[in-house]
Amino acid sequence: MRGDEAPPSSDRRRAARIVACFPSYVDHNKEKLTAMIADLAETGTRLFLREPELKVGEELRLELHISLDDAQVRNITGRVVRIELLPPERSSLWTHEVGVEFDETLRLGPAEVEALEKREAPFGKK
C-alpha cells in the first residue's frame, strides 16, 4: 500500500458490522434521499446512494428502517467519512458508496438484530 492510499475497508472499521440490505432515508439540505444500507455497526454504516450531492465531513440525519415493522424507525445523526463512485460492474440504481460515522453509538435491541438476521438469511449471510 502506498502512503497516499486509503487503508482497506476492514482496517477502517471500529466495530463489527452486520451485513444488511434495507432501506433508509438521508435528510440532506431539506431533501429526503433514498438510500440502501449495505452494512451497519454501532459506530456507523455503509450506504448505497444514487448521485449524492454530499461532501466528506457533512452532518446528516439518517432514518433507518431496521425492523421488519415499517412503523418502527430509528433516527440517528452522523457525518460523512467517505464517498466512493461504484465501478461500472457494481453500479446500477446505486452509483455511490458512502461511509457514515454516527455521532452516538447505535445500540441494537434483540428484535432489531433478529430482523437483520432474517433479512440476511436469503443471501447466505450470518
CATH number of 16-119: 2.40.10.220
pLDDT at position 63 = 92
- Domains of the chain: which residue ranges? 16-119
CB atoms within 10 A of CB 122: 8
Helices (H), the chain: 9-12, 110-120
Q: What is the pTM of this model?
A: 0.75
pLDDT at position 69 = 65
Q: What is the mean pLDDT of each run of 10 residues along the chain (126 residues)?
A: 43 54 84 90 92 94 79 89 93 92 88 70 56
CB 48 within 8 A of CB 28: no
CB 38 within 8 A of CB 23: no
